[in-house]
Every structure is written in C-alpha cells, then in structure tokens.
Amino acid sequence: MLELPEASVMADLLKSTVCGREIAAVTMNSAPHKFAFYLGDPLLYETVLQSKKFETSTSYGGMVELVANDIKLVFSDGVNLRFHESGVQRPQKHQMLIEFSDGAALSGSVQMYGGLWCFKEGEFENEYRKAAMEKPSPLTPAFDSIYFQSLIELDSVQKLSTKAFLATEQRIPGFGNGVLQDVLWTAHIHPKRKIQTLNEKERDVLFQSIKVLLIEMAVKGGRDTEKDLFGNSGGYYTLMSKLHASDGCPVCGGGITKEAYMGGSIYYCPTCQKL
C-alpha cells in the first residue's frame, strides 16, 4: 500500500515519464474488482481523457494526482501504478490501462482496495482527499513541532494508543501502519502505549522520528516493502517489517514480536519498546 513517502516518489516518477505524452486510449475496469472505486461510469473516462496530455503530477497524503488541463486523475493508496515502455507486454489483469500515442502505457491495479477518480476540480469531494490536501505533510516545514503538539495535546486522543493516534482518522494523511513500525521503534515507543503516558521528551523524540524517517524513506525511493512505478523495491530498509523482523532488533539483539492489533500487524522489540 502506498503511504506518504511512496506517494511522493510516485508523483515525481510520473512527472518524468508520463507527463507530456498524448493519451491515445483508456481502458477501465477490464478486470472488475469489488473494492475498486470509480467516480461515475469508469467507461466514460476514455471520452474525458483521450487526446489529452498529463501536464503535471503531485501527491498529498497517500494519494497521487495527474492533471490534464482541467481534468484530474487521482489514485488512492491501494492502487499499484506501473509504467510500460513501447513493445513491453501489459499486465493481463488491471483496473486501468492508459495507452499513449508513442506506444508507452500506464497501468493501475487495485491490491486490496483503491480509488481511481477522474473529474474536474469542484465536481468531486472526498473527505480523505480533502484532509490530505488541507493538512500539512511531514515532508514539509509546515509540519513542525508546534503543529505536532497541537495534535498530540487534543483531549480526544489522550486515551488512544500511539498506533491509533498516528495511523487512524487521517490525523496525519498518508501515515499508515507501514511507516508506523520503524517510526515507533526509532522513538522506542510501544505501538499500544497510550498517548497520555508520553512525557514531553518522548513526544519530542516521536516528532523527530516522524520527520527524519519519512523524509529518509522518500529520499531513498520508498520502503523496500513497496514497489515504484517500474516495479522496483524502494531503497529504504525497513527494520520492523515482514522482510526483516526475523533478523532481530539491531540495538539489543533480541527477537522482534509480531502480533495482530487494530486490523493489522504490528512489529516491535519488547525490550526497546516497553509497554
């Protein structure tokens, strides 16, 4: 699933590969997916996009947006985007395939769930997109310690666990269960620990961990658990993930615990991240 760092990387790659190419054909929903969400009739996307050129791409939260004149094509975090050079075989199953006049193509497939929304600005409103566009990103200076303190000091979050605080309710759009693991390990905070138990120093360490690691993940092309536009794994080595948890904790050498919590898996070191 694309989270904030990968969305940023994807937007940059789309800008350098897809933008400027003329759209020749658009095929939508050729392999129907129960949790692929479109805006209106996806079969009409071709009428809207044909002969246009994407001018730019951007990201906000875990979403990626392509812009062609006054048309926006937005992908949510569950859509896997792949670029295909001319002559390269396209995937057999997909929820979107955009063919360009030079023979290249862009495909989109939904993993678990995902939105592929094509619209004119002002014609579509989605609460997740709205939050992602309006709230400051940890990748920008606007997400500073003062802003973070305003989030963590809310009365409504004090009884939440750190995972619930960071990765739910779009408090930090694009911050999900994936990036959460290394952030909390670096800050030496257990995912189940209540926000109200964190002292001032721990809150500051958590803020610094968020800022430093998310920027590092983006700079390195995303996490190694995720694929980029060309199907390559990201360059950020995830310590607390299914790929490397068996290696143990890099600090104390102890084993890493994996358990189900709040609808997903959490990874933590019980020695370095005491509850």
Q: What CA–CA distances, in Å, run from 72 to 1, 76, 114?
A: 21, 13, 16
pLDDT tens-digit series, residues 51-77: 999 999 999 999 999 999 999 999 999
In this predicted structure, what is the pLDDT of residue 126? 87
pLDDT tens-digit series, residues 230-239: 999 999 999 9
SS3 label, residue 10:
helix
| Strand residue runs (E) in the chain | 23-28, 36-38, 56-60, 63-68, 71-75, 79-84, 96-100, 105-110, 114-120, 257-261, 264-268
pTM: 0.94
In this predicted structure, what is the pLDDT of residue 1? 84
Distance, in Å, from the CA atom of 270 to the CA atom of 188, rounded to the nearest integer, reads 10
pLDDT tens-digit series, residues 112-147: 999 999 999 888 888 889 999 999 999 999 999 999
SS3 label, residue 223:
strand
Distance, in Å, from the CA atom of 240 to the CA atom of 242, rounded to the nearest integer, reads 7
Across the range 212-225, mean pLDDT stands at 98
The CATH number of domain 145-268, selected from 3.30.420.10, 1.10.760.10, 1.10.8.50, 1.10.1740.10: 1.10.8.50
Q: What CA–CA distances, in Å, run from 190 to 165, 232, 266?
A: 12, 31, 10
Phi, psi for 190 (deg, rounded to 5): -70, 140
CATH fold group of domain 4-134: N-terminal domain of MutM-like DNA repair proteins (3.20.190)
Q: Where are the alpha helices (DSSP H) in the chain?
A: 4-17, 45-49, 127-134, 145-152, 162-167, 177-187, 200-219
In this predicted structure, what is the pLDDT of residue 124? 87
The residue extents of the domains of the chain are 4-134, 145-268
In this predicted structure, what is the pLDDT of residue 52? 97
Answer yes or no: same fold for 4-134 and 145-268: no
Distance, in Å, from the CA atom of 137 to the CA atom of 46, rounded to the nearest integer, reads 32
